Structure 1
């Protein structure tokens, strides 16, 4: 991959937007789900908390990519190259598993409400989250294998002397890398995506046939399904399709860097999943957005000569609304 000014600007813009929008959204989600798990843990809360942690790990290592783009070469210690790549890619594929688990949990909840309610337990979600993380990291350990693989071509530079991070591969390295990328497409993307599609199609179908579901709740459920499928199609599909194209042509496509940029948006779109999935998060978000308004009303009553009865009514209304939300 050759860095250009256009590519540099694009990477910095996309990663910057993701970082600015993703960090506060995921921190709010982290606070909400930790509180929920402490009070009364449910499988969906555990899965959403795991997804939030995965996104925050992804965002933590995002500045390394931004630094490389800003300098148009890898100038940091090369020890951090495989480390950042390992967690960066592991977080992406861990998200596909967790999003799929959320879709399965939602489907089972409406398809088998009684049986599933009797057997559901948060520890199963904890076990599933641990397994997802192990499988994702095991597959993405290919980053370290490629980094320290000893090839016989002496014309290639030593890994620690390269100015790019995880981009240049010898023919011997491609012999190992290409099948692994195809497996990533099949096991860590294609299979979860098909399961997700099945679960949410059935989920929407069942909800549409239930007469007692409120329109607002039905709309949120449809929004959850569409947001999840949108994350798969926009964020994960292009990058994983590059695995298949590269395997067929037995090369590493140059446009992979652009496809990877769409995966970066995952950390921004996941909060949509959180919003549709958690009433506690919706309540916290409303309370957070209502905070500045409440402070303005309080300042009005203290410093401006407005009618006392109106200010008192405003304060009481705000307080009552906060109590109802909590």
Structure 2
């Protein structure tokens, strides 16, 4: 009888390698009352804030504002976050009842949505970063080529790629009867795909974290160099929003990737507990973005009283960059280099 600890924790459900015989009982079924209550409270808070906040963003960006490169990307981010938050009640009920009662489809779908959200979010942030970089480095070219059609194609491709590379995680999800508790549980069975454990973890790390941060870092380097040489008056509001979104994403997801890598070699209880906490932290990212849109404005004292207007203001990438008149060529450069 193996005494190895279970495998990856995703979507608040403990995952196991059921190629071992016999499998061990899921720790979520034996978690302490304090731990379970804390998880439930965290996920309920994320659900309420995420649904309300992202619905507000979708309403403003989708129906109240002119379509721009920024609004399309932020609208897609909000849709991705809302979809994920909408699936949290299934996981909340799973923790409360300590069994899975929603069938095989939702077992697969709830986890699938989490990683589609992860990939689509970071891919959209890459699109925003590249767009800002092009606007600063090549302002005239950017004015002529940054069209809504092209950004919508880029966003569509980001979603398609996110769905495709999330499919392996969908395949290995399964519902089985726990050998000790004799209740249905939603688990991951890496034996359904050969050599899938390491492959899935590395795939998520490379395409969902490392590669995007390299691209974003390069874009930021170009932006910073260009802005240091540009003496024109400029607004840093869009740059602050973008920076906050990217920093929040990486802070939220970094612990998850660290623990999944660690868990491949060290199947210890403390690793599993850290993995559970890291999933909650990653989930928190989906409810924070609307508040970042609202709070990154210039008037800090008024942010709590002007939530809706702050969200709309954060999306505005066509703001005034100065009061003095410039030549036509300077206007083109200023328009695209000041809204970083």
**Does residue 203 of the first structure (1) align with residue 229 of the second (2)?**
no
Give 1:187's aligned residue: 207
**Does residue 89 of the first structure (1) align with residue 89 of the second (2)?**
no
In the TM superposition, residue 64 of structure 1 has moved relative to its aligned partner by: 1.0
Which of 175, 179, 184 pairs up with 1:163?
Answer: 184
Give 2:289's aligned residue: 270
Structure 1: where are the runs of 5+ without partners? 150-154, 291-326
How many residue pairs match? The answer is 275
Give 1 or 2 for the bigger CA radius of gyration: 1
In the TM superposition, residue 110 of structure 1 has moved relative to its aligned partner by: 1.4
In the TM superposition, residue 244 of structure 1 has moved relative to its aligned partner by: 2.6
Structure with the largest fraction of helix: 1
Give 1:243's aligned residue: 260
Give 1:323's aligned residue: none
Deviation readout 1:196-233 (Å, 9 max, x if unpaired): 2222343244334432224xx22x24522431232233
Which of 244, 256, 266 pairs up with 1:227?
Answer: 244
TM-score scaled to structure 1, two decimals? 0.73
Deviation readout 1:28-78 (Å, 9 max, x if unpaired): 2101111366x4x22222111111111111111111111111222223323
TM-score scaled to structure 2, two decimals? 0.70
Give 2:195's aligned residue: 175
Supply the RMSD in Å over aligned alpha carbons. 3.4
d(CA) in 2 for partners of 1:174 and 1:63? Answer: 32
d(CA) in 1 for partners of 2:292 and 2:142? Answer: 22
In the TM superposition, residue 13 of structure 1 has moved relative to its aligned partner by: 2.1
Which of 32, 37, 52 pairs up with 1:24?
Answer: 52
Structure number with the bigger relative contact order (C-alpha 8 A, sep ≥ 6) is 2
The answer to whether the 8 Å contact 1:44/1:102 transfers is: yes
Secondary structure of the equivalent of 1:142?
A: helix
Give 2:279's aligned residue: 260
The answer to whether the 8 Å contact 1:14/1:264 transfers is: no
Deviation readout 1:69-108 (Å, 9 max, x if unpaired): 1222223323311011111221122111111111111121
Structure with the largest fraction of strand: 2
**Does residue 120 of the first structure (1) align with residue 146 of the second (2)?**
yes
